A = this chain, B = another copy of it.
Amino acid sequence: MKFVSLLALPLLALAPIQQAAAEQFTTEQLQHTAQIRQHAQNSELSWQLVESLTTEVGPRLPGTENDKKAVAWAKAQFERLGFDKVWLEKAHFPHWRRYHESGHILTPSKQPLHLTALGNSVSTAKDGLTAPIVLFETLAELQAAPAGSLAGKIAYVNYRMNRDIDGNGYGPAVKARSSGAVVAAQKGAIGYMMRSVSTSHHRFAHTGGSHYKEGVSKIPNVAIANPDADQIARLIALGEQVTVHINIQTEDLGQGESYNVIGEITGHSKPDEYVLLASHLDSWDLGTGALDDGAGVAITMAAAKHVAAMKRPQRSIRVVLFAAEELGLWGAKDYVKAHSDELDHIVAAAESDFGADVVYAFESNVHAQSLPIVRAIAEQLKPLDVAYIGANSARGGPDLIPFERAQSSPIFALHQDGTDYFDYHHTADDTLDKIEPHKLKQNTAAYAVFAYMAADAKDKIQAK
């Protein structure tokens, strides 16, 4: 274990930053960290939690009965695990539901089309929408189409997401999801269709948030699976005019209500300062939300529990399971509003919302004076094969975006290997069997080490 050899060095031999790091934690605290890490790596708790949530509740779209069950489940779990404080905070969001979706390619030959409505999409007519499609390779190509040129047509963006360990392919691809329907409607299209924001070669369509714009006609808005997109690309390459039939039935139910569910391990000497461990409790309705974000729920709950099982740190650890992330970070936004006068109480915030593959690197976004604490934490993550990224410009997970905007909280990233994440993300195939238990344990151990050390460092970590 690295810290033993570090401490064995005479202090004078340490570089200044190492010395400063060593001053933040006693030998006892570091031994303690090692125990927590070991304990978390051996514990089945995070697996049990994600198994229970995804099996007994399953999909949990905000506002549904299952969402209510998930809130009750989370509260009961926090209580069962002996968190010192457990409470709910209201969150509001636009309540949207999916009832039916189906589709076919009609010409040149009838074939099923594996599609899904994008979140927030309006319905087609009861008996569906039939129209020829016009293919654009990118959203920019669609944007360049002349006004009115798509009258009576379905605009189709064929952009293929790139696979990447950090999910860097997602951002460029997701623009076509967020705003494609608006651009298409502005050109006169009566429907919008896109290749799924997905790296999967299986026949699953990927859902996700999308938006309309005031004053622009709201048109049905779907994504198709990659093999179906390949099929359409081949047909068009053959010179065929492809006509499709789409039937999606959805409903806008106005404002919905749910809850951020919060469990706190209360610090023994500075209880008002806290480490924020974030994840989101809601999921899309297609899968069971195992990777997105049952894993994060399980990792953060279990990590805090593992710390508490040893001893209470100086500061608190607050696990917040945010509501309605998928529909637009609504729980996180409401949290930031409700806690706006105390966001500087957060000494470290990190979110687990990128599946369940291993954490491979650790990065901060903190005031330079707090870097010695960061280095000391990084040292304790090394036995978990977590590298240190010294750029100090970490972005948190999606629920931390409102916190980043408020610029009051030190942000941390425990970078997960996301190479395969977008094979499952937002599809029916996001189910428990896609999680490997040993990887989940590694994540839990990394979050436990991080949470304990950030909560028990001599000094409070400062925001930039």
* From B110, B111, B227, B431, contact of A231 by CB (8 A): B431
Q: Which residues of B contact A286 (CB under 8 A)?
A: 112
Tell me which of A114, A226, A433 has the highest count of chain B C-beta atoms within 10 A of its own C-beta.
A433
Cβ of B109 and Cβ of A235 under 8 Å apart? no
Closest to A230 in B: B433
CB of A202 within 8 Å of the partner chain = yes
Oligomeric state, in copies? 2
A438 to chain B, nearest CB (A): 17
Which A residues, 145 to 159, have Cβ-Cβ distances below 8 Å to chain B?
Answer: none
Closest to A201 in B: B433
The answer for the CA separation of A99 and B15 in the assembled complex, in Å, is 72
Q: Which residues of B contact A240 (CB under 8 A)?
A: 56
Cβ of A227 and Cβ of B431 under 8 Å apart? yes
* From B66, B227, B288, B428, contact of A433 by CB (8 A): B227
The answer for the CA separation of A203 and B430 in the assembled complex, in Å, is 9
Q: Which residues of B contact A114 (CB under 8 A)?
A: 428
Q: Which residues of B contact A287 (CB under 8 A)?
A: 203
Tell me which of A59, A110, A285 has the highest count of chain B C-beta atoms within 10 A of its own C-beta.
A110
* From B112, B202, B226, contact of A202 by CB (8 A): B202
Closest to A285 in B: B112
A56 in contact with B109 given A51-B234, A204-B203, A234-B51 (CB within 8 Å): yes
A66 in contact with B109 given A51-B234, A55-B231 (CB within 8 Å): yes
Cβ of A110 and Cβ of B56 under 8 Å apart? no
Cβ of A288 and Cβ of B231 under 8 Å apart? yes
CB of A118 within 8 Å of the partner chain = no
A352 to chain B, nearest CB (A): 22
CB of A429 within 8 Å of the partner chain = yes
